[in-house]
Structure 1
């Protein structure tokens, strides 16, 4: 028997949550390993943080489940961790280097020479295994929640509250979309050094499954209009994240073949 629309929507939602729970971890670890956060655009993280704050306020005002609000708080804290890493490692680099080296670019100070990358096939298999594991975790969480969750839906908000939630939703969508542009521009300067591909890979997976969870629940016009901001914020962001992954592939493929960017 096929999974019903509500169950399919819920399952995709749980998979999306699983993706977003781990999305920050690769970049946080990358920053720790390199002892630098200079691969990230500060504006990218700041605007992403503002988007997460709007998302948190919307979840709180809509009286969503406590787990949803807790996850929104978790996103915000992870953004703050990334910001802390960027400025901490800058401070650390400035105090570690001699005075005459302070004039060199921060990225050159902080990042080690590019390392020999693993084979594309091994990288693809590693990321595929990670995706399968995260998807399986999300499906397992959905199954456990499906059998034990007896919670009631939140009460319908007032008209004024609905407008407030919509404003926050569209603000969040615009911020999520706008956050990628500074990072894409920075990548032309840094050649994507210091960026973790898994950050954007899991973001794409999380946004796609989130969009699919909305559409799977219903395709009625009024429902889609109500959720248009969340659909736009998640679906359109995928395009920019694919652009970042394309930049990574381009620069790393040229690096692996020994081709300089000025050739």
Structure 2
């Protein structure tokens, strides 16, 4: 694809960014926005991994609010539905799938570690190690010689999986979907030129409306997802079981996302209100509530 105009404010567009990412980047300010935007994406990609690993280490999800997990998953589901319906970039689709995989891993952990059979096993282990006084409140399993090996193996698998997924997402950017290619072909035929980068996907009015509604629903889920966790922390007067790195990385990602948007200063048009503003609101809400959780970790 190519960008139109080819030059803006004396700066030609960066061809490799247009080719691989379908974005038109010209000025140093726009280049900074592009880099910061992908820093935000990197933070989002790894944000949940510390919590997943901590759950595995503790063999427990005590302290996690299932309400927050479900609301966050609902946000990712509606986000992916909106991305698919409005025919966004393949990169966005694969990223949405990746986030859902992490969500379902956390839900699976919550169900597995709270299953009745787990409780019976824990009780049996506690009895075998010297009675009820030998248990602990956090549901930690008794250490064994295998634990360090298991932990190292799990950590390596997490790092490897993250690298492979990130590589797949990066590679997917180079290959547009069939529908995206068709839209580009239509634009090319109409303009008798090479397809335009960052061209809006062709869609019906109904698909556009539903996509916009899903974006706003997604923003509401993201905005309010942390509230059940904050309430649970307050009721227990504890943040035991939570990985603070989850919230630190999410704060970093949301801050970078906001900076990237401000650096590009998008026009306040219909596209902004339909597709950008809902996620800005969701990011702002998550940012504020994540700060609240970190404050709770200091106070408790």
After superposition, the C-alpha distances for 1:199-252 in whole angstroms (9 at most, x for unaligned) are: 01111111122222223222422254342111111122100010011111111x
- Would you say the 8 A contact 1:44–1:179 is kept in 2? yes
SS in structure 1 at match of 2:137: helix
Q: Which residue of 2 aligns with 1:97?
A: 122
Task: Say if 1:80 and 1:151 are closer, same or farther in 2 by CA, change over 3 A.
Answer: farther
Specify which of 58, 71, 80 is matched with residue 95 of structure 2: 71
Q: Distance in 1 between matches of 2:172 and 2:104?
A: 30
Specify which of 204, 220, 229 is matched with residue 158 of structure 1: 204
Please list every run of 5 or more consecutive structure 2 residues that lacks an aligned counterpart in the other structure.
1-10, 12-25, 128-135, 142-165, 177-194
Q: Which residue of 1 aligns with 2:18?
A: none
Higher relative contact order (CA 8 A, sep 6+): 1
After superposition, the C-alpha distances for 1:113-168 in whole angstroms (9 at most, x for unaligned) are: xxxxxxxxxxxxxxxxxxxxxxxxx9xx99x999xx99843524333222212111
Specify which of 62, 71, 76 is matched with residue 47 of structure 1: 71
Q: State yes or no: 1:239 paired with 2:263.
A: no
Higher helix share: 1
After superposition, the C-alpha distances for 1:31-62 in whole angstroms (9 at most, x for unaligned) are: 01111011210111011100000111111122
SS in structure 2 at match of 1:221: coil
- Would you say the 8 A contact 1:93–1:109 is kept in 2? no
Q: State yes or no: 1:179 paired with 2:225.
A: yes
Q: Which residue of 2 aligns with 1:25?
A: 49
Q: Over aligned residues, Cα RMSD in angstroms? A: 3.2
SS in structure 1 at match of 2:260: helix
Please list every run of 5 or more consecutive structure 1 residues that lacks an aligned counterpart in the other structure.
102-106, 113-137, 252-263
- Would you say the 8 A contact 1:16–1:206 is kept in 2? yes
TM-score relative to the length of structure 2 = 0.64
SS in structure 1 at match of 2:225: helix
Task: Say if 1:50 and 1:64 are closer, same or farther in 2 by CA, change over 3 A.
Answer: same
Specify which of 41, 61, 83 is matched with residue 37 of structure 1: 61
Q: Distance in 1 between matches of 2:218 and 2:211?
A: 10
Q: Distance in 1 between matches of 2:62 and 2:282?
A: 26
After superposition, the C-alpha distances for 1:154-202 in whole angstroms (9 at most, x for unaligned) are: 5243332222121111101111122111100111216000100110111
TM-score relative to the length of structure 1 = 0.73
